[in-house]
Amino acid sequence: KNEVEQSPQNLTAQEGEFITINCSYSVGISALHWLQQHPGGGIVSLFMLSSGKKKHGRLIATINIQEKHSSLHITASHPRDSAVYICAVAKASYDKVIFGPGTSLSVIP
Amino acid sequence: EPEVTQTPSHQVTQMGQEVILRCVPISNHLYFYWYRQILGQKVEFLVSFYNNEISEKSEIFDDQFSVERPDGSNFTLKIRSTKLEDSAMYFCASSGTGGGYTFGSGTRLTVV
Q: Is the pLDDT of residue B72 over 70?
A: yes
Instruction: Name the closest residue on chain B to residue A100, using Cα atoms.
Output: B42
- Which parts of chain A sit beneath pLDDT 70? 1
Q: Is the pLDDT of residue B100 over 80?
A: no
Q: Is the pLDDT of residue B99 over 70?
A: no
CB pair distance less than 8 Å for A96 and B56: yes
Whole-angstrom distance, CA of residue A62 vs CA of residue B76: 35
Q: Is the pLDDT of residue B95 over 90?
A: yes
Establish whether the linkage from the previous residue to B8 is cis, with ω within 30° of 0.
yes
B97 phi/psi in degrees, rounded to 5: -55, 130
What's residue B1's pLDDT?
75
Does B33 touch chain A if contact means CB atoms closer than 8 Å?
yes
Q: Is the pLDDT of residue B98 over 80?
A: no
Instruction: Name the closest residue on chain B to residue A91, using Cα atoms.
Output: B99
**A77, A99, A101: which is closest to A90 by C-alpha?**
A99
Local confidence band at B96 (pLDDT 50, 70, 90 cut-offs): confident
CB pair distance less than 8 Å for A48 and B102: no
Determine how β-strand A97-99 pairs with β-strand A83-90. Answer: antiparallel
Whole-angstrom distance, CA of residue A79 vs CA of residue A62: 23
CB pair distance less than 8 Å for B91 and A45: no
What would the mean pLDDT of B47-60 be, rounded to a whole number? 95
Q: Is the pLDDT of residue B61 over 90?
A: yes
The mean predicted confidence, pLDDT, of chain B is 94
Measured in angstroms, the CA of A47 and the nearest CA of chain B are apart by 9
The per-residue pLDDT for range A68-84, each reduced to its tens digit, is 999 999 999 999 999 99
Q: Is the pLDDT of residue B10 over 80?
A: yes
Burial class (CB in 10 A: 0-12, 13-18, 19+), A100: buried
**A35, A25, A30, A27: which is closest to A72 by C-alpha?**
A35
User: Helix (H, G, I), strand (E, B), or coil: what is residue B85?
Assistant: helix
Residues 49..68 of B with a Cβ closer than 8 Å to A: which? 50, 56
